[in-house]
Structure 1
């Protein structure tokens, strides 16, 4: 009795299953019904209006909306115009942010510029501090020794340069008068054939221009006290910032990295340390190149007995910290001094020496010493120098190129698709295998 009831239930399920399969086959084999076209009402043949879901023959299909559009109005705008508008407002937003940053930097430039100079000095003196630390000196003592030693070397060099300049000023003034007289004679007897009246007229115009601009010169002199106070404040800030950068630089960097989200800390730390290595390499290479430029030009100045050989060599050394144009401009001063003191032949020789030293620097020293770590395209260097001069004068020109080198390294590291190395002080927690 139980078995027969079970058989009946199984038979019913079997029939229901077969019926369902048959209905599915029938639905698949039946072609879809094509709806009849709706009639279009017109004044000549009035008729019922088409329902909302009816298809009207002869009407254009609605325009397909793009994935990036939110309404029909957006779809009516050409795709290229929408892309251009999207780029435009984003660029405007970036420009506004960049302009605001420039305003902030210009407002607090009296703090930003000394900090940038202190960063360059720290990159220059950091290897010496490392040597003393390896010699078992305390960190504060090693930093103080390096900083005081650097100040003593700087003050001693400036003292020699100033004494040399003071000793040579009277002789150079005498020869400058003779040189001006020679120039005046050449203007009269040379191809220009200027008369005494023409020379006097030009001199009077120059004197009148000076008289008209006396107020401007006076206002500049009155602002010298303010400028001197800013220079002193900046110098003190540079010294203090350099000391603490050398002593606690690693601690300061770790504190800044901890302010970031955890997922970004390792990548930012890797980019920051690589950028610091680039800055150290740049400062070292620039120092060596500047020394070679100053030594090469200074030797020829001594050989041809050009006055102010030591100050001019020091000027070339300082100017070489501004790539491409710095040593050339400072070497031009040496050429002018040689022209006034020793005549055009010596000036042409010194000019050839300056050009030769620049060629050696550009084609041998820069690629050999700088290397690939701080390789920057010359166009980027020129644009950076121009922007630095416009924004911050000489200091901007000094800081622009190392800033570009640091940003170049940082962007490359941040954009690299790799996992940074584990920091040496990292604590890795792992569970034991069961």
Structure 2
């Protein structure tokens, strides 16, 4: 070794960052980015909730009505647009009919229930005041409540106007949901193909296949939840027939709608049924009705949910409870309604993108066209200029994702390929 050559000093590794800290830091900044993206997405959804919620409802309605639309279109040979319209009109007729029947039952039942409730309340008031000597205090509290109501008349009036504005928003949302449902039924492949076509070409096929499996999961969840809600409504409705026959139908409809919020919805609507029976028939009948509700809940929890819902969405009951709690905390009733199907679809899609296919029987042969076009639309005549002075007629047909573009990036018709 020459004199001008120097020996490098030994590296002191005592101050190096341990591998565990490096891995934790790497995971931390990635999780922060994911959290920021989720927060931004939730903020955007909240900002556009008047549009997002009707579209989500339209997706669920589309899943429910697709079998009927296929029956009309494929078995009865009804044109696709007409079959979608008939399916939607049938849904509206059923919903309006149920609301009308429930309204008549409520109007007839509450006339008798009001008298029973008033007498029962007065009897309870007398028993409590005499037994505990609270007559003067209760009268004072009732007078305070009346004074507060009189003082808050302006707030009550403003609340009524706010309720009217909310009703207007609900009406607009219902119209958007019906509009989207019709087109989702009429041309689901065209709309999905247009969305996939917005992505880079290299990722279109994987996103298409992941979306297909997410749609299958959503359909399985919807069918299973309808069955579970039907069982809850039937069981509790039969119990209500023996105590409040005039209100049995409204209670059944309420339980059916509430059961679409897993676990929590059926409990809340069952409690309402018990309170109605308590007001109308007393404690003994209420206890019997409570037993009916608990029996129905046990059948749902130990028979329907594990076997049906577990197979449909592959989510643990703990995950279902946490999803409902998070959804209700973030967006109230709407969040509780959509939390479980969203979690189920995300579970299926993320697993597929990570290499685990829950539905291998679907295969990967189904390729969608990129450009929007109705499935039953006739060929579109186009005049393709081959060269100066030469014009050829061609018809645009549906092609797959890999056949959409030629290597040069320009569309090629069948006639072009032959020439």
Match of 2:106 in 1: 165
C-alpha deviation, 1:184, in angstroms = 1.3
Match of 2:160 in 1: 221
Match of 1:423 in 2: 366
After TM superposition, the score normalised by the length of structure 1 is: 0.78
> d(CA) in 2 for partners of 1:397 and 1:90?
28
> In the alignment, which of 139, 142, 148 is matched to residue 200 of structure 1?
139
Whether 1:107 and 2:47 are equivalent positions in the alignment is yes
> In the alignment, which of 359, 380, 383 is matched to residue 322 of structure 2?
383
C-alpha deviation, 1:428, in angstroms = 8.5
Pairing 1:75-90 to 2, within 5 Å after superposition: 76-90=16-30
Pairing 1:176-195 to 2, within 5 Å after superposition: 176-190=117-131, 193-195=132-134
Whether 1:349 and 2:298 are equivalent positions in the alignment is no
Match of 2:57 in 1: 117
Q: Aligned pair in 2 of structure 1 residues 371, 386: CA closer, same or farther (>3 Å)? A: closer
> d(CA) in 1 for partners of 2:319 and 2:356?
25
> d(CA) in 1 for partners of 2:291 and 2:127?
24
Q: Aligned pair in 2 of structure 1 residues 417, 116: CA closer, same or farther (>3 Å)? A: closer
CA contact (8 A) 2:323 2:340 kept: yes
Q: Aligned pair in 2 of structure 1 residues 428, 82: CA closer, same or farther (>3 Å)? A: closer
Q: Which segment is superposed worse, 360-369 or 348-357?
A: 360-369
C-alpha deviation, 1:90, in angstroms = 2.9
Deviations 1:327-378 (A, max 9, x none): 1111111100110110100000111111110110111122333352312122
Unpaired segments ≥5 residues, structure 2: 368-398, 404-419
Match of 1:131 in 2: 71
> d(CA) in 2 for partners of 1:306 and 1:272?
46
Q: Which segment is superposed worse, 153-162 or 391-400?
A: 391-400
Match of 1:416, SS state, is coil
CA contact (8 A) 1:336 1:347 kept: yes
Match of 1:292 in 2: 231
Match of 2:312, SS state, is coil
C-alpha deviation, 1:188, in angstroms = 3.0
CA contact (8 A) 2:106 2:250 kept: yes
CA contact (8 A) 2:310 2:316 kept: no
After TM superposition, the score normalised by the length of structure 2 is: 0.81
C-alpha deviation, 1:213, in angstroms = 4.5
- RMSD over aligned CA atoms reads 2.5
Pairing 1:32-431 to 2, within 5 Å after superposition: 53-54=6-7, 61-63=10-12, 76-135=16-75, 136-190=77-131, 193-211=132-150, 213-416=152-355, 421-423=364-366, 426=400
CA contact (8 A) 2:244 2:280 kept: no
C-alpha deviation, 1:95, in angstroms = 2.3
Structure showing greater relative contact order (alpha-carbon pairs closer than 8 Å, 6 or more residues apart): 2
Deviations 1:309-332 (A, max 9, x none): 111111011111111010111111
Match of 1:223, SS state, is helix
C-alpha deviation, 1:51, in angstroms = 5.8
Which protein has the larger Cα radius of gyration, Structure 1 or Structure 2? 1
CA contact (8 A) 2:261 2:336 kept: yes
Match of 2:393 in 1: none
C-alpha deviation, 1:417, in angstroms = 5.8
Q: Aligned pair in 2 of structure 1 residues 210, 387: CA closer, same or farther (>3 Å)? A: farther
Q: Which segment is superposed worse, 211-220 or 108-117?
A: 211-220
CA contact (8 A) 2:258 2:269 kept: yes
C-alpha deviation, 1:217, in angstroms = 2.9
CA contact (8 A) 1:172 1:307 kept: no
Deviations 1:192-227 (A, max 9, x none): x14211211332343344445544433221212321
Q: Which segment is superposed worse, 258-267 or 339-348?
A: 258-267
> d(CA) in 2 for partners of 1:370 and 1:382?
13
C-alpha deviation, 1:382, in angstroms = 2.0
